[in-house]
Amino acid sequence: MKIEEYFDKSIDYLPWEECGEEKKREQFLWQEQLIVKYNADFGEDCFVSQYASIYGVEELNLGDGCMICAGVLLRNISLTAGEKCSFNTNAYLQGKIKLGDFVRIAPDAKIIAMNHTFDDLNKPICQQPIRSKGIIIGDDVWIGAGAVILDGINIGSHSVIAAGAVVTKDVPEYAVVGGNPAKLIRSRLESNDRRKINEEDLKKRLQEFGGEVRDQWQAVLNNRKKHINGREIYVNLPEDSSEEVRPWCDAIEIAAMFDGIPDILDKEVLIKEVQKLQPTMIDYNVLTVGYALEVLGTKILNPFKYIENENKVQLEEKLSSYDWKNDIWSAGANIDHYGTALYMNKKYFQSKNSGTTLFGWLSLNANAQNGMWGVENKDDLLQLVNGFYRLTRGTYAQFGIPLPYPKQAIDTLLEHSKNTRYFRQDCGNACNVLDVIHPLWLCKKQTNYRYDEGKEWAYLQIERILKNWQYEEGFSFELETNYNPGLMGTEMWLSILYLLTDYIGYSDVLGYKPKGVHRTEVALDIIKNN
C-alpha cells in the first residue's frame, strides 16, 4: 500500500477531523448508494465510512452530524439515531435500536437487540425463533469500550456505561454502571457541580455580579438609544432600524430593577409616550405596556372592553377552540394575555369579571397525567412546557391561585430540562430557560417534590448566566457571547437569574429584583378582590 493511500484512510477512523472536498464528494456518493440500497435517511454533515460493514438493513436513519467509523458492523439492523451520535471502530449493532442525541459508542461496544429463544428442549437452539424487543438509549449517553447491551434494555439519558460492562437491566438517567452484570456505581448527580460549589463563593459572585450590573445598566440603555425619523428611541439590537413597543418597556423594566428610570425623556413625557402604546386588541403588548406603566407608578388609560363584554359561553368556546395539541404555546400565550388584561381591568377599573369562568375552565381541563394543559409530544415537550409557563404566569402566578397538579407538572418540567436539544452548557435561550424555572419556582410554593433535582439544573443555569454578561451591553437572547446583546435578552436573563437564585434561596444577595412582567409577587389576590 502506498503511503498516501494509508493516510488517506485516516478520515475513516477519525471522521471528526476536517476532510477535504474530495472526501466530502465521496461521502455524498456513498450515502446516495446507501439511500438507494436501503432507503436510508441521513441528516446534514453525516459521515459513514466505506470501510464499515452495513448489511441486512431494515431501517437506517441518522440525524445531523452522526459519524460511523471504519470497522463498525451494522447487521440485521433497524437503527434510528438522533443528532451527533458516533459509532467508533469495531462497534457492533444488531436488531431494533433507537438512540437519542449525543450518544457516544466506544470501540468494540456491542448493542444487540436480538436473542435466540431456547424454550423447546427437543429442538436445537439454532432452529428456534429469534426474539427482538428492541433497545432504547436516551440523550447524552457514553457507552464505554467493550461494553455489551442486551435486548430489551432502556438506557436513561446522561448515563455512562463503563468499559466492559454487560448491561442486563434498565439503566436510570444520570447513572454510572459497570461490571458483569452491570450494577450502579454511582449517580452523576451526586458528583455534579453543586456538591463542589462553595456556597459562600457563589453568593459572593452573585453579589459582585449584581453590583456590576447596577453600575452598568444605564450604559446598557444608552447603547440601545437610536435616532430614527427625527426622534430618539430605544431599539432592542444595534442593527434594528424601526421603532417597536417592547424595547421601550424592556428599558423601563431594566431601570426599575435598580430603582431607576430611563433618562431618554422626562418621566411625565415618558409616561404619556408609553400610554399611547396601549393596544386595543388583547395581545402581548397588554403585558409590555401595562407593566411598564405600573413600574412608572401609573396605569393604562382605558380598560380592555373585550374582557367585560365577553360572556361565559363565548369565553369557554374560545378556550376550547385553541389547538391544545399542535400549538400549545399560542394557547398558553393567549390565556396569559387575557389574564393580564383581566388583572388590569380589576385593579384599575373595578371590573365585574370575577375570573370564575376562566379558572373554572382551566380547572376542568388540566391534564392530571402531565400536570399541564394539552396533549404532550412524548419526544419533544417544548410546546407543552412553554405553553404551561405562559398560561400560569398570567393566571395562577399573577392571582395567587394554587396549581392543580404541581407534582405532575414538576415531573414534566424535569423531563424536559434534560433534553440536550434545548439545554446544554452552550445552549438554552432565554425563553426556554425561563419557561422551566418560572414553573419550577411556582410549583415550589406548593411542594418540595424532586427539589434537589431542580436545584441541580438551577445551579447549571446560574453558572451559564454569570459567565456570559457583555460589558455595558447586557445579555444576548441566546445568552452566549457570540450573539448580539439586546434589551430583551438583558431584561429576561436578569429576571431569570433572580428566579433561579430565589428558587435556591440566594436571591437576596443580587441587590436587584424584577419589576413588571417577571415580578415574583402576587399581583392581585383575585379571591379577596371579588
Residue 158 falls in the annotated catalytic set: no
Inter-CA distances, 91 with 94, 110, 333, 418, Å: 10, 6, 47, 27
Cis status of the peptide bond prior to 181, with omega within 30 of 0:
yes
Distance separating alpha carbons of residues 173 and 188, to the nearest angstrom: 9
Residue 187: Cβ within 10 Å count: 15
Selecting among 116, 158, 337, 416, the annotated active-site residue is 116
What nine digits make up the cell of 355? 375570573
CA distance 178 to 166: 7
Give CA separation, 158 vs 138, 139, 151, 264, 412, in Å.
Answer: 7, 6, 20, 49, 17
Angstrom distance (rounded) from CA 297 to CA 512: 18
CB proximity list for 170: less than 8 A, separation 6 or greater: 153, 154, 155, 156
C-alpha cell, 383: 410546546
CA pair distance 419, 406, nearest whole angstrom: 21
Identify the CA nearest to 57 among candidates 71, 42, 74, 72.
74
> SS3 for 148?
strand
Q: Do the beta carbons of residue 251 and residue 221 sit within 8 Å?
A: yes
Rounded Cα–Cα distance for residues 74 and 94 (Å): 6
How far apart, in whole angstroms, are the C-alpha atoms of residue 458 and residue 456? Answer: 5
| d(C-alpha 228, C-alpha 240), whole Å | 10
Which positions are annotated as active-site residues? 116
